[in-house]
Amino acid sequence: MTSPVTTKRGDSGTTLILGGQRLSKSHPILETTGKVDSLRAHTALLRLQLIEQGNEQQRELVEPLFWLLHCYFLIGTAVNDPECVHPEYRQTDLGEAHLARLESIQTALEGKLALPKSFIVSASNTLSAQADVTATVARELERSLVQLKEEVPAFDVVTILAFVNRLSDSLYIMARFLEQGDHVPVDYGVLE
């Protein structure tokens, strides 16, 4: 079998990272890289669902989500070479401008909605549910970034960690925005 994707070099449970080392697929670098991949896939699904199902107001999230998909490649490159052995593989690094843009996206959305005064028990439609799932994957990535920093102390994770922390909040706000005021707050009376 000749394929540009299937090389068979990973059949033994190891893979080559951008830093040049061959590591077990269970190594924190590869676990974290996998979390970035999951976040990218869920974000892409949300974006496509918005294109196909969203109304005009909801589709304003399509462009910010496309921008986020590109930010994930910056994160993935940094994660896959946490000691920056090969800086030439990086197009750029996540920086303050990226954080500022993410915050401005969230601020703009918050200005368009009234959050309920209680916890949300469930999304109220499939678009907001997908945004909630994506926010959850972002939180998983955040925890994985902390574990990777513990494993590789030289990993400069400060900006990436701040970005991913704010990202999960922004995705949560996107979920509430996609509900268009139809929030499903916790009702403990259901338990009685």
> In which band, very low, low, confident or very high, does the pLDDT at 127 lie, cut at 50, 70 and 90?
very high
- Amino acid at the residue 177: F
22-45 pLDDT, tens digit per residue, is 877 779 999 999 999 999 999 999
Quote the radius of gyration of the chain (alpha carbons, Å): 19
What pLDDT, on the 0 to 100 scale, is given for residue 147? 97
- For residue 83, the enclosing domain spans 24-191
**CA–CA dist 8, 10 (Å, integer):** 5
Residue 11 CB coordination number (10 Å):
8
**CA–CA dist 164, 87 (Å, integer):** 21
What pLDDT, on the 0 to 100 scale, is given for residue 81? 95
- Domain count of the fold of the chain: 1
Q: Is residue 14 part of a domain?
A: no
The average pLDDT across 129-142 equals: 98
> In which band, very low, low, confident or very high, does the pLDDT at 145 lie, cut at 50, 70 and 90?
very high
135-144 in b/e form (b: 16+ CB < 10 A) is bebbbbbbeb
**CA–CA dist 35, 141 (Å, integer):** 5
Tokens 């000749």 correspond to: 2
**CA–CA dist 175, 167 (Å, integer):** 12
Q: What is the CATH number of the domain that holds 93?
A: 1.20.1200.10
Q: Is residue 136 part of a domain?
A: yes
pLDDT surpassing 70 at residue 8: no
Rounded alpha-carbon distances, angstroms, from residue 136 to 47, 70, 92, 163, 168: 16, 19, 26, 15, 7
Q: Is residue 103 part of a domain?
A: yes
| 116 vs 4: which has the higher pLDDT | 116
Q: Is residue 13 part of a domain?
A: no
